[in-house]
Amino acid sequence: MDISAIVTAILTGELDRNLPSIIDACQTRGRIVKDISAAVNMSCISTGDTVKLVNLRPKYLEGALAKITGQTSKKLNCTMLETRRKYREGSAFSVSPNCVEVIK
């Protein structure tokens, strides 16, 4: 499959009649990939791990360090290891597993 040909066909309007189906397929696949990534992260992260916050809002939290204090079925419970605006060192919060990277 040549992605360049697919992108060109979309941009030139050759696939206009199929755009709703293409958009739906892309969104569905995006959700599946996100769910798989979350499941992998949940299985690899343990209480006590230090993580870096990524892909989340507010953006000023990007790159901040936190410690995992526990987890629920869909969220990781964390404590801030540094202060970022209203999130003070020691502040507790929950985050999606897609929003952390383990610091080795």
Q: Which residues are bridge partners to 94 per DSSP?
A: 77
pLDDT of 59: 95
Determine the topology of domain 46-104 in CATH: SH3 type barrels. (2.30.30)
* Residues in the chain, pLDDT under 50: none
Could you read off the pLDDT of 56-79 as tens digits, one per residue? 999 999 999 999 999 998 999 999
What pTM did the predictor assign?
0.73
pLDDT of 58: 94
Q: Which residue is it, tokens 């040909």?
A: 5
From CA 47, how far away is CA 73, in angstroms rounded?
14
pLDDT of 95: 95
Rounding to the nearest 10 degrees, give the CA dihedral for residues 53, 58, 86, 62.
30
Q: Domain-by-domain residue ranges, the chain?
A: 1-44, 46-104
Q: Nearest to residue 73, comparing CAs of 32, 35, 103, 102?
A: 35
pLDDT of 37: 86
Q: Nearest to residue 47, comparing CAs of 72, 23, 74?
A: 72
pLDDT of 13: 95
